Structure 1
Amino acid sequence: MSRSTKRGRVSEIRDEDSLDRISSLPDELIGHILSFLPTVSALQTSLLSTRWRYLFTLTTSLSFDDREYYELSSHGNKTRNMGFVRKTRNMGFVRFVSGVLALHRVTSIQKFSLKLTHTHKYASSHLHLWINAAILKGVRHLDLYSFCQQISLPNCILCSQTLVRLEINSVMHQVDLKVPRLVCLPNLKVLKLCKVKYLDAESIRRFCVGCSLLKELVLIKCGLSTDHVRVSALALEKLTVYLCRGHVEIDAPNLASLSYLYTCSDVMTLLLKKSCSLTRVEVGFHSSEFYDPLGQYVLDLITGAQHVKELILTINALKLLTRLDDTQIPRYSKLESLHLDYCSCDTWKYVTFWLANSPQLETIVFNEGLLNAAACGTEQEHEWRPSMKLAPFSSNVKTIEVHQFEGGKMELLLLNYLLQNAGVLKKLILCKSGSMTMEEELQVSRELLMLPKTSKHCTIELK
């Protein structure tokens, strides 16, 4: 083969490698690809060439974040701008969003996200205009995030025929949700509200009636009502309530997952009809007031979840069980997975209860270590020995996972206790804490190898 022929082939290969294959794609496909970028980033592609100048108007997802916009504007003098970018660089975020919506050519969008975190103040009319535009385009996922001020919401949000997912997150100020007389969200399946306040009990009922297909409800720092509210959510499957206020009785026969967290300053009593079919319960109790009526309510919630398959408890929720004697503790006949933050000396007794009296339990996870020395007290920890204080057990536990493992003396004693009693254990996974040095890891590894194991098939993994 001659040199000229070789040079020709090399030149052809280089030409093929340098081809702009993305630009040759159909406009709609490029618009779909740009939908995965923040809108301000998608807009920057208009600088590439005249071919790309207005392709950002074909995105099926619009995401506006004023922080990103002002960061880009502050570096605008270092970049080459043309067309719409040059015109909007110094027009402000309001005109930027309005301009993009005016130019946008897609009639139906999947997601509209609006994050207002800058100190600049936006009029309610701007917010209403932008949300109305998204609703008119048949948006399916609407995400509103406000940090800088209290906002009002347009009624059109609660009358959308296309919304499947709605998220309203107010960081600094609580938003008053004015519910119109007619709420019609026939396709809404996921609702997440943070710092949203219902004005009265009737508003809550109207809202729930208008969301007949709602499957997941997340309420964070919300004010529901000072009155006792009774609502019906027949399709609801997952409910999360964190740090809310109010008193709610809910009829949700299909409810399978419940996450509940409260403190004494943020109190919400949640009464579930017994017809619900819970399989997962997470209870967080961040308070030192263990003997108030609300503590008893949380205790009743834990002991009443006898048919769950997964149970997740914080340390204070676990401490509530110390109120009970052995005869009051229920049997969790279907429990398969138990997750705990960490344990103190006086709560380990109840861990062994689950190990001994939950015949289906296969996995137990300690999210913050096996034992908290501060919770035990120095003197109590010095005197406490698992082999003396904890009864033997025989269980079907196959996996034990410990996070924030430090390899301390008490932790090794507890591991020895678990390994001697867990007859069918297959995996002991120890996730070391970030403070463990290489020398400490080697020493702990040697001590772990010396621990006796009842199960012949158990492996210990330190990672």
Structure 2
Amino acid sequence: MPPGKENGSAPPVRAGDHIGALPDDILHHLLSFLPVQSAVRTCVLARRWRHLWKFTTGLRIVGVLRQGPVQELRKFLDHLLILRERRVLDTVEIKFSRFWKDDVPYVNLWTRFAVQWGVRALTLHINHYEHLYLDGLPLVSQHLNTLDLHGVGLQLKSLDFSCCPTLKDLKMKFCEIHVRKILSCSLKRLSIINCQSKLNRHVRVSTPCLISLELDNFSGRTPFLDNMVLLETARVDLSNSCEDFCLNYDVLGAFCGDDDNGCENCVAYKDGSDECVLLGGISNATHMELISESDIFVFTRDLKQCPTFSKLKTLLLNEYWCMAPDLDPLACILKNSPVLEKLTLQLFYTSGDIIEMIGSYSSVERSSAISEHLKIVEVKFPEMDKTTRKVLKFLCTFNIRFRVE
């Protein structure tokens, strides 16, 4: 509390000064939405405002482009860290559109201070052509609840959050994740978007209490997902940046496999393990989206040990699952989804005009090879081509009939 204040109530103010009439605690919260420079400048408004900035519930460290974004903040923040009152912070945001190499230690220092001050939500966004590497991310906090990283490099043996028992949300976007493992027993929501790993191995993700997973456009070896028993929603999109692709696919029109006659990638993938890389970890999901490019073999390999999706109610698949001549991938996942209620097939590559057909059972007779709970089947496609006809014909064998929406 600022000097001379007995409680959080506001002193008498002039008529019309509505902001000045607010209690100190509310002003502390309001100032946390301003960049730290602006929050400190409020000290000149009046005697009462002189110390309010020292008690803000959050810090927004935002770099500007002119004269180098981080350099101009160094001295300012050195003084701020000394003069500011030590109290638990709700939020800390560190955002820069560029940085210099000698700025990196300062950003790391500010990040450590944020964790030491018990920040609950920490955001570090770097919008730069290079990644800013954290020099040993401080991973010990009894307060950290949300961690949002953008444009950050992580180069550790493991990203272990076992000393962050309240961490629930982890977001990583455009990050370099050069770690062997991501570990957390408290994490509930995990989002990994447009990230990459240059390690010639799978990043192992062990987050048993996760309820929401988004893995989109990961560059490098596909992350290995340990079993997530509480998972509710999962979205996995393996783009052409994935390195688990068959070099002979364009010639063979199929995967060459992981035997001795396989291509360099397929044989290198033969690790002596029968575990699923992706499907085993997300097999408890209730809602799932699985999207892949045609030449990526991870899902096909996983289907050889296909788990049972015992809780799965809604499923979205793209054309990857319908490209095999006999539709085995689609048939396999449907066979192992006993309580599925809604199936959506997106048979298109572009976002142009799309035709949508809705299907449902046309009689009381239901095939044992598909969920008896299935109520809706959506098939979305740009044109009635060979693949679309094959899919519709396949689904009709289960007494599913379609109408055009």
Q: Deviations over 1:419-439 (max 9, x none)?
A: 7xxxxxxxxxxxxxxxxxxxx
State the alpha-carbon separation in 2 of the partners of residues 280 and 389 from structure 1: 23
State the alpha-carbon separation in 1 of the partners of residues 154 and 213 from structure 2: 21
State the alpha-carbon separation in 1 of the partners of residues 232 and 146 from structure 2: 19
The alpha carbon displacement at 1:43 in A equals 4.3
State the alpha-carbon separation in 2 of the partners of residues 219 and 112 from structure 1: 21
Alignment check: 8 A CA contact 1:299 1:320 kept: no
Which of 376, 382, 388 in structure 2 is aligned with 1:372? 382
Alignment check: 8 A CA contact 1:193 1:222 kept: no
State the alpha-carbon separation in 2 of the partners of residues 152 and 392 from structure 1: 54
Indicate yes or no: 2:207 matched with 1:233. yes
Q: Which residue of the partner structure matches residue 170 of structure 1?
A: 151
Alignment check: 8 A CA contact 1:164 1:188 kept: yes
Q: Which residue of the partner structure matches residue 152 of structure 1?
A: 133
State the alpha-carbon separation in 2 of the partners of residues 365 and 49 from structure 1: 63
- Cα distance 1:217–1:255, how it changes in 2: closer, same or farther (>3 A)? same
State the alpha-carbon separation in 2 of the partners of residues 175 and 116 from structure 1: 17
The alpha carbon displacement at 1:134 in A equals 0.9
**What are the within-5 Å matches in structure 2 for residues 323-342 of structure 1?**
323-324=326-327, 330=334, 332-339=337-344, 341=346
State the alpha-carbon separation in 2 of the partners of residues 372 and 182 from structure 1: 45
**What are the within-5 Å matches in structure 2 for residues 125-274 of structure 1?**
125-148=105-128, 149-155=130-136, 157-170=138-151, 174-177=153-156, 179=158, 184-197=163-176, 199=178, 201=180, 204=181, 207-208=182-183, 211-220=184-193, 221-223=195-197, 225-227=199-201, 232-244=206-218, 245-246=220-221, 248-267=224-243, 270-273=277-280
**What are the within-5 Å matches in structure 2 for residues 338-353 of structure 1?**
338-339=343-344, 341=346, 352=359
Q: State the secondary structure of the residue aligned to 2:209.
A: coil
Indicate yes or no: 2:55 matched with 1:58. yes
Q: Which residue of the partner structure matches residue 283 of structure 1?
A: 290
The alpha carbon displacement at 1:348 in A equals 8.7
Q: State the secondary structure of the residue aligned to 2:226.
A: strand
Q: Which residue of the partner structure matches residue 310 of structure 1?
A: 314
The alpha carbon displacement at 1:60 in A equals 0.9
The alpha carbon displacement at 1:114 in A equals 0.8
TM-score by length of 2: 0.66
- Cα distance 1:343–1:124, how it changes in 2: closer, same or farther (>3 A)? closer
Q: State the secondary structure of the residue aligned to 1:33.
A: helix
- Cα distance 1:90–1:200, how it changes in 2: closer, same or farther (>3 A)? closer
Q: State the secondary structure of the residue aligned to 2:118.
A: coil
Alignment check: 8 A CA contact 1:352 1:393 kept: no
One-letter identity of the residue aligned with 1:263: S
State the alpha-carbon separation in 1 of the partners of residues 331 and 111 from structure 2: 57
- Cα distance 1:361–1:387, how it changes in 2: closer, same or farther (>3 A)? closer
- Cα distance 1:253–1:45, how it changes in 2: closer, same or farther (>3 A)? same
The alpha carbon displacement at 1:283 in A equals 1.4
Q: Which residue of the partner structure matches residue 110 of structure 1?
A: 90
State the alpha-carbon separation in 2 of the partners of residues 360 and 238 from structure 1: 24
The alpha carbon displacement at 1:118 in A equals 2.7
TM-score by length of 1: 0.59
Q: Which residue of the partner structure matches residue 456 of structure 1?
A: none
Query: Comparing 104-113 with 270-279, which one deviates more in the overlay?
Result: 270-279
Q: State the secondary structure of the residue aligned to 2:277.
A: strand
Q: State the secondary structure of the residue aligned to 1:155.
A: coil
- Cα distance 1:93–1:327, how it changes in 2: closer, same or farther (>3 A)? closer
Q: Which residue of the partner structure matches residue 84 of structure 1?
A: none
State the alpha-carbon separation in 2 of the partners of residues 303 and 348 from structure 1: 32
Indicate yes or no: 2:39 matched with 1:32. no
Q: How many residues align?
A: 345
Q: State the secondary structure of the residue aligned to 1:107.
A: coil
Q: Flag structure 1 segments of 5+ consecutive residues without an equivalent.
A: 1-15, 75-88, 398-413, 420-463
One-letter identity of the residue aligned with 1:330: L
CA RMSD across the alignment: 4.7
One-letter identity of the residue aligned with 1:282: E
The alpha carbon displacement at 1:169 in A equals 1.7
The alpha carbon displacement at 1:30 in A equals 0.8
One-letter identity of the residue aligned with 2:155: D
State the alpha-carbon separation in 1 of the partners of residues 34 and 111 from structure 2: 20
State the alpha-carbon separation in 2 of the partners of residues 318 and 327 from structure 1: 9
Q: Which residue of the partner structure matches residue 296 of structure 1?
A: 300
Q: Deviations over 1:207-234 (max 9, x none)?
A: 51xx321222222323285345666433
Alignment check: 8 A CA contact 1:254 1:276 kept: no
Alignment check: 8 A CA contact 2:226 2:281 kept: no
State the alpha-carbon separation in 1 of the partners of residues 285 and 199 from structure 2: 25
One-letter identity of the residue aligned with 1:20: D
State the alpha-carbon separation in 1 of the partners of residues 341 and 114 from structure 2: 44
State the alpha-carbon separation in 2 of the partners of residues 231 and 136 from structure 1: 26
One-letter identity of the residue aligned with 1:218: S
